[in-house]
Amino acid sequence: MDLHLTLDRAAGRLAGQLAEGLRDAVRDGRLTPGVRLPPTRDLAADLGVSRGVVVTAYEQLVAEGFIVSRQGDGTRVATCPAAGPAAGPRGEAHRRALRLAAGTDAGPADPPGIAYDLRPGKPDLASFPRDRWAANLREVLRELPHTALNYPDPAGVPELRAELAGHLARVRAAAPEPGGIVVTAGVAQMLATVPRILIEEGHRVLAVEDPLGHHQIPMLGATGIELAGVPVDEEGIDVAALARTPARAVLVTPAHQYPTGVVLSPRRRSALIEWARDVDALIIEDDYDGEFRYDRDPVGCLRGLAPDRVLLAGSVSKALSPALRLGWAVAPPWLAVRLRAARALHDLGSSVLDQHVLARMIGSGEYARHLRVMRRRYRARRDAFVAALRERLPQVRVHGVSAGLHAYAELPGTCDETAVVAQAAALGVAVEGVAPMRVGRPGPPAIVVGYARLSERRLAEAVDLLAAAVRAV
């Protein structure tokens, strides 16, 4: 096969460069569906790199669904690659379909004229393992008896709850108890439900971190609970300030605070649990970005330290895709019963087929493998993004990049945050300001920037434009 692949040896990360070159070749149609790629040994010899470089690049593309590797059949371009090559007329509708498939266009809600979407909160949608999801779904459909296609247990199908219990015990030390896991439609559904249960239990106030994800403010507010914002500093939520509120329940993001990116310090973890024990409180632990940790030691979840006091909630929204609307709550038994009852009352549970597919992917190790591949990719993007920011915007202080998929960039005190966001958008770069995420108190100007969805090269281009936006205001 005569493929024009160039590697810049001086730039390092050869496997990443090779994967990008092959991905581009699939996207622009130079590599067509079904075509066989050279064996790793041959391509390594052609390119003058070690075989491991090619193996890593192939593994990455298999996980993304661009290529398929089968024993005895070698490695081929997938028949429905993640961002398939162009076929048929290349009109705007077709290009838009490709952009949608590639995740470079989040749909009609995208602001017009945005070439670099750095809004936080979304994973690299182009990396969804389409082939593996489809293959597992086919097996589920072949094997599930007709009776399983009935309404499910509203707490989730037993197979998924069992796999989640094992996974969360292994990876997050989450101390799941039998009957303590409820499958949810994402963390969002838990957030819309638990405050209502708390109100039934006599609570009036829910403490939240300030700042807080701006989608969550109306979601929590709609439940009727009153929000008490508690400041977040470099150690995480200020527990002394929390203790001064009337709240007996708190929502926290200890793994990677959203949006500041702070990891809750061990000291604050102990203080938070002590507070909960002292005042008989519930801690709602949104395990935001718990899967993505780069250069710091693993941090277990709060729930593992105090299972009687903590509800842990997570989802596949960052690990796979938010489109699945699949998540979980690991709750103390009394609350798991109430959550299950709420699902029975409101929506009768989540898709049985999707639950079984996820259960298989966890059970077979595919889910963990996918996470490993994505962690490597996000880490490379994080490195490129932070290096570009340091070079182009040295006046910006970058926080929260040891984990997760976003950075919290504190602007110089004199900067008008809203003007920077608007100017960046005018130059084609979408980022979010932190002001709409503040619950009560004002704070320094900052922007929240998601780096997960763009290649290293495009991230550097976006940072150039961002620097121009900051200079212009």
Smallest distance from ligand PLP to CB 471, Å: 30
> Does 154 contact ligand PLP by CB under 6 A?
no
**Closest chain position to ligand PLP (CB):** 186
Smallest distance from ligand PLP to CB 93, Å: 29
> Does 215 contact ligand PLP by CB under 6 A?
yes
- Nearer to ligand PLP by Cβ, of 121 and 156: the residue is 121
Q: What is the DSSP letter of 442?
A: -
Smallest distance from ligand PLP to CB 159, Å: 21
Q: Which amino acid is at 146?
A: H
- How far apart CA 98 and CA 148 sit, in angstroms, is 35
Upstream peptide bond of 211 is cis (omega within 30 degrees of 0): yes
Q: What is the DSSP letter of 472?
A: H
CA torsion, points 307, 308, 313, 314, in degrees to nearest 10?
10
Determine the interface stretch with ligand PLP among 143-151, 180-188, 222-230, 459-467 (rule: CB under 6 A): 180-188
State the DSSP string of 54-93. Answer: HHHHHHHHHHHTSEEEETTTEEEE-SS-TTPPP-S---HH
Smallest distance from ligand PLP to CB 319, Å: 10
Choose, by CB under 6 A, the member of 103, 180, 186, 307 that binds ligand PLP.
186
Smallest distance from ligand PLP to CB 420, Å: 21
- Nearer to ligand PLP by Cβ, of 192 and 427: the residue is 192
The closest alpha carbon to 304, from 404, 160, 170, belongs to 170
The closest alpha carbon to 211, from 17, 454, 461, 437, belongs to 437
Residues whose CB falls within 8 Å of the CB of residue 127, separated by 6 or more in sequence, listed in order: 63, 64, 65, 82, 103, 374, 377
- How far apart CA 256 and CA 266 sit, in angstroms, is 13
Residues 264-323 that bind ligand PLP (CB under 6 A): 286, 288, 315, 317, 322
> Does 254 contact ligand PLP by CB under 6 A?
no
Residues 65-124 that bind ligand PLP (CB under 6 A): 121
Structure tokens at 27: 């996207």
Smallest distance from ligand PLP to CB 322, Å: 5
| Other beta carbons less than 10 A from residue 285's beta carbon | 29
Q: Max Cα separation, the chain?
A: 70
Q: Which amino acid is at 304?
A: G
- Nearer to ligand PLP by Cβ, of 255 and 393: the residue is 255
Choose, by CB under 6 A, the member of 136, 193, 253, 455 that binds ligand PLP.
253
Residues 423-442 that bind ligand PLP (CB under 6 A): none
β-pairing, 397-399 with 406-410? antiparallel
- Nearer to ligand PLP by Cβ, of 176 and 327: the residue is 327
Smallest distance from ligand PLP to CB 218, Å: 12
Choose, by CB under 6 A, the member of 188, 373, 407, 429 that binds ligand PLP.
188
- Is the separation of the CB atoms in 51 and 41 below 8 Å? yes
Choose, by CB under 6 A, the member of 66, 258, 385, 451 that binds ligand PLP.
258
Q: Give the interface with ligand PLP as residue ranges (CB under 6 A).
A: 121, 186-188, 213, 215, 253, 258, 286, 288, 315, 317, 322, 327
